[in-house]
Chains A and B, each alone.
Chain A
Amino acid sequence: MLPSELAQKLKTRFGDLISGPAEFRGEITLKIADAEKIVEVCRYAKNNLDFNYLVDISSVDNYGEDPRWTVVYHLRGLTHGGELRLKTDVGEEKSELPTVTTVWKTADWHEREIYDMMGIRFRGHPDLRRILMWEGYPYFPLRKDFPLAGKPSELPGVAFTQPAPLEGGPFITVAGGEDAIHREPRVRNPEE
Chain B
Amino acid sequence: MATVQDIEIRDSAARTAQAADELQDVQGDKMVLNMGPSHPATHGVLRIVLELDGEIITRADPDVGYLHRGDEKIAENMTYTQFIPYTDRLDYLAPLANNVAYALAVEKLLGIEKDLPLRCQYIRVMCAELARISAHLLGLGAFAMDMGAVTVFLLIFTEREKIYNLAEAISGARFTTSYTRIGGVMRDLPPGWLDQCQKFCDEFIPALSEVETLLTRNRIWVDRVRNLAVISRADAVDYGLSGPNLRGSGVEWDLRKNQPYLCYPDLEFDIPTGSIGDCYDRYLVRMEEMRQSVRILQQCIQKIPGGADNKTNELVNVPDGKVVLPPKQKVMTKMEELIHQFILVTQGMNCPPGEIYFGHENPKGELGFYINSRGGGTPYRMKIRAPSFVNLSIIPKIFPGCLISDTVAILGSLDFVMGECDR
A-side residues, CB < 8 A to B, are 24-25, 27, 29, 52-56, 58-61, 72, 74, 78, 81, 83, 85, 104-106, 108-110, 113, 117, 130-134, 141-142, 146, 148, 170-173, 175, 185-186
Q: Which residues of A contact B237 (CB under 8 A)?
A: 52-53, 78
What is the CA–CA distance of A83 and B65 in the complex, to the nearest angstrom? Answer: 29
Q: Which of A105, A130, A141 contacts B238 (CB 8 A)?
A: A105
Q: Which residue of A lies closest to B377 (CB)?
A: A172
Q: Which residue of B lies closest to A137 (CB)?
A: B65
B192 at the interface (CB under 8 A from A): no
CB pair B356–A61 under 8 Å, yes or no, is: no
CB pair B240–A81 under 8 Å, yes or no, is: no
CB pair B370–A106 under 8 Å, yes or no, is: no
The 8 closest A-B pairs by CB, nearest first: A106-B240, A58-B383, A132-B65, A109-B393, A56-B385, A132-B68, A24-B354, A185-B77
Contact with A along B386-401 (1 / 0, CB 8 A): 0001101100010000
CB pair B78–A171 under 8 Å, yes or no, is: yes
Distance (Å) between the CB of B237 and the closest chain A CB?
A: 5
Distance (Å) between the CB of B386 and the closest chain A CB?
A: 10
Q: Which residue of B lies closest to A176 (CB)?
A: B347
Contact with A along B149-193 (1 / 0, CB 8 A): 000000000000000000000000000000000000000000000
What is the CA–CA distance of A74 and B70 in the complex, to the nearest angstrom? Answer: 22
CB pair A24–B240 under 8 Å, yes or no, is: no
CB pair A104–B238 under 8 Å, yes or no, is: yes
What is the CA–CA distance of A172 and B79 in the complex, to the nearest angstrom? Answer: 7
Q: Which of A25, A60, A185 contacts B108 (CB 8 A)?
A: A25
B64 at the interface (CB under 8 A from A): yes
What is the CA–CA distance of A42 and B372 in the complex, to the nearest angstrom? Answer: 22
Q: Which residue of A lies closest to B233 (CB)?
A: A78
Distance (Å) between the CB of B271 and the closest chain A CB?
A: 13
- Looking at B217-225, B251-259, B285-293, the stretch in contact with chain A turns out to be B251-259
CB pair A25–B64 under 8 Å, yes or no, is: no
Q: Which residues of A contact B251 (CB under 8 A)?
A: 78
Contact with A along B244-273 (1 / 0, CB 8 A): 000000010100001100000000000000
Q: A74-B385, A172-B378 are in contact. List 17 more A-B contacts (CB 8 A).
A: A24-B355, A25-B108, A25-B356, A55-B366, A56-B370, A56-B383, A61-B381, A81-B258, A81-B259, A105-B239, A109-B389, A109-B393, A132-B422, A142-B73, A170-B78, A170-B82, A172-B79
Contact with A along B360-386 (1 / 0, CB 8 A): 000000101010100001101101010
Q: Which residues of A contact B348 (CB under 8 A)?
A: 172
What is the CA–CA distance of A155 and B412 in the complex, to the nearest angstrom? Answer: 32
CB pair A74–B370 under 8 Å, yes or no, is: yes
Q: Which of B82, B355, B359, B393 contacts A29 (CB 8 A)?
A: B355
Can you give 11 contacting A-B residue pairs, CB < 8 Å? A25-B108, A25-B354, A56-B357, A56-B383, A58-B381, A60-B372, A81-B259, A117-B72, A141-B73, A148-B77, A170-B78
Q: Which residues of A contact B78 (CB under 8 A)?
A: 170-172
What is the CA–CA distance of A80 and B83 in the complex, to the nearest angstrom? Answer: 34
Distance (Å) between the CB of A135 and the closest chain B CB?
A: 10
Q: Which residue of B lies closest to A105 (CB)?
A: B238
B109 at the interface (CB under 8 A from A): yes
B5 at the interface (CB under 8 A from A): no
What is the CA–CA distance of A172 and B393 in the complex, to the nearest angstrom? Answer: 35
CB pair B109–A148 under 8 Å, yes or no, is: no
B19 at the interface (CB under 8 A from A): no
Distance (Å) between the CB of B343 and the closest chain A CB?
A: 9
Distance (Å) between the CB of B161 and the closest chain A CB?
A: 30
A81, A113, A134, A146, most chain B CB atoms within 10 A: A113
CB pair B111–A25 under 8 Å, yes or no, is: yes
CB pair A60–B79 under 8 Å, yes or no, is: no
Q: Which residues of A contact B357 (CB under 8 A)?
A: 27, 55-56, 74, 83, 85
What is the CA–CA distance of A27 and B359 in the complex, to the nearest angstrom? Answer: 12
What is the CA–CA distance of A74 and B359 in the complex, to the nearest angstrom? Answer: 11
Q: Which residue of A lies closest to B359 (CB)?
A: A55
Given A56-B385, A171-B78, check contact A25 B109 (CB 8 Å): yes
Distance (Å) between the CB of B243 and the closest chain A CB?
A: 13
B213 at the interface (CB under 8 A from A): no
Contact with A along B407-423 (1 / 0, CB 8 A): 00000000000000011
Distance (Å) between the CB of A29 and the closest chain B CB?
A: 7
CB pair B77–A72 under 8 Å, yes or no, is: no
Q: Which residue of A lies closest to B85 (CB)?
A: A170
CB pair A55–B368 under 8 Å, yes or no, is: yes
What is the CA–CA distance of A108 and B368 in the complex, to the nearest angstrom? Answer: 18
Given A81-B259, A172-B378, A175-B347, check contact A131 B240 (CB 8 Å): no
B312 at the interface (CB under 8 A from A): no
CB pair B65–A133 under 8 Å, yes or no, is: yes
Distance (Å) between the CB of B46 and the closest chain A CB?
A: 13
Q: Which residues of B contact A59 (CB under 8 A)?
A: 383
Q: Which residue of A lies closest to B356 (CB)?
A: A25
What is the CA–CA distance of A58 and B74 in the complex, to the nearest angstrom? Answer: 16
